[in-house]
Structures are given as structure tokens and as C-alpha cells.
């Protein structure tokens, strides 16, 4: 792994977008799994529900890291029911300080009906001011597209997320158009 790649965990793996508009929150992700310049799989599910279906997460990074972090987040949600931010902060503390976890290179989007957060292994737990988050190699493309589409009155959160993902898939070689969408 090059020095540049290791400084940007999860940037060459996928695209995940979260859009919050009105009472809806949507998380969408593409299905491409790449190793270098080779596509290994086109239909991976990188967006999942946790916490009895009340939490949606999206993940950019290595697959094994994803499963580890999903399990840890599920445990934090059980320890802090109804407190998404606290559960995420507790996971971020562990992720940053635990000898094993701090080696995981990833970014996560975590949303419930009220809160949208981006989490990283450097201890970041950030709630965006506009309710839109993009992560992964095509994340900035999807984020830009979603922001541009947001004020369209005829588009809801799901429409915006899908269109933003389509735009990112047309630009980023690590993103495909096999999109999984979860909505609260």
C-alpha cells in the first residue's frame, strides 16, 4: 500500500452517500469490490441495518474491518440504547485506542431517524450541518451531486441519493451502478 493510500483509509474502495431530507434519511452504497485495478465482485452489500433495524450504516474500507466494526457498533448500541451519538463516540474511542482496532482502516456513515454521523478510526464523530455525507473513493462526487440536487422540489432523499450514486459511478472507476439503498 502506498503512503498516500494508507493516509486516506477507505478512499479506494467504494462510494457511500447519506441524504437527510424532510423526515427521511437514506443511505446508499455501490456494490463494487476492487483489489487494485481488478474488480472482484459487483454486488457486495456495504449498507446494513443495525440496532433492531433502527440504524443504517454504510462502510468504506476492507471487508473484514467492516464486519468487525459492525459487531462493535452493535454492542455499543446495546449498551447505550436510543443514544446513537454516545454509542458512536464510545466506538470511536475504542477504535482509536485499542491496539487491534486502531489498525482498521475505514470510514463509516451511521444514521438513525434523528442523527447522521461520519466516523473514522482517527476518533472523528462528525454530524454534517446539511444532512449529507459522502465517503469512499467516489464519495466527494456523490456528495457534490447530492448537494446540487438537494433543492429540487420534485426529489426526495431517496431520489437524490440514487441520482448522486449514478453520477459517482459514471466518474469513479472504483464505484459501480449496482446500488443498495436503505431508508428510515
Which residues are known to be catalytic?
14
Separation between Cα atoms, residue 2 and residue 79, nearest integer Å? 38
What 8-state DSSP symbol labels residue 53? T
Residue-by-residue DSSP string for 109-125: EEE-SS-EEEEETTS-E
Q: How far apart, in Å, are the Cα atoms of 162 and each of 43, 67, 100? A: 16, 25, 35
SS3 136: strand
Q: What are phi and psi of 174, to 5 degrees?
A: -95, 10
Amino acid at each position: 500500500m502506498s503512503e498516500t493510500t494508507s493516509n486516506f483509509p477507505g478512499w479506494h474502495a467504494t462510494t457511500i452517500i447519506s441524504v437527510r431530507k424532510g423526515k427521511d434519511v437514506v443511505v446508499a452504497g455501490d456494490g463494487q469490490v476492487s483489489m487494485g485495478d481488478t474488480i472482484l465482485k459487483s454486488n457486495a452489500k456495504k449498507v446494513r441495518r443495525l440496532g433492531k433495524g433502527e440504524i443504517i450504516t454504510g462502510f468504506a474500507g476492507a471487508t473484514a474491518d467492516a464486519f468487525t466494526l459492525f459487531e462493535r457498533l452493535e454492542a455499543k448500541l446495546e449498551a447505550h440504547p436510543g443514544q446513537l451519538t454516545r454509542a458512536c463516540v464510545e466506538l470511536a474511542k475504542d477504535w482509536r485506542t485499542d491496539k487491534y482496532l486502531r489498525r482498521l482502516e475505514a470510514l463509516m456513515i451511521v444514521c438513525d431517524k434523528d442523527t447522521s454521523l461520519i466516523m473514522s478510526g482517527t476518533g472523528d464523530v462528525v454530524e454534517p450541518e446539511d444532512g449529507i455525507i459522502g465517503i469512499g473513493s467516489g464519495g466527494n462526487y456523490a456528495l457534490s451531486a447530492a448537494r446540487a440536487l438537494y433543492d429540487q422540489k420534485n426529489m426526495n432523499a431517496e431520489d437524490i441519493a440514487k441520482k448522486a450514486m449514478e453520477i459517482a459511478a459514471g466518474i469513479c472507476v472504483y464505484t459501480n451502478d449496482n446500488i443498495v439503498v436503505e431508508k428510515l
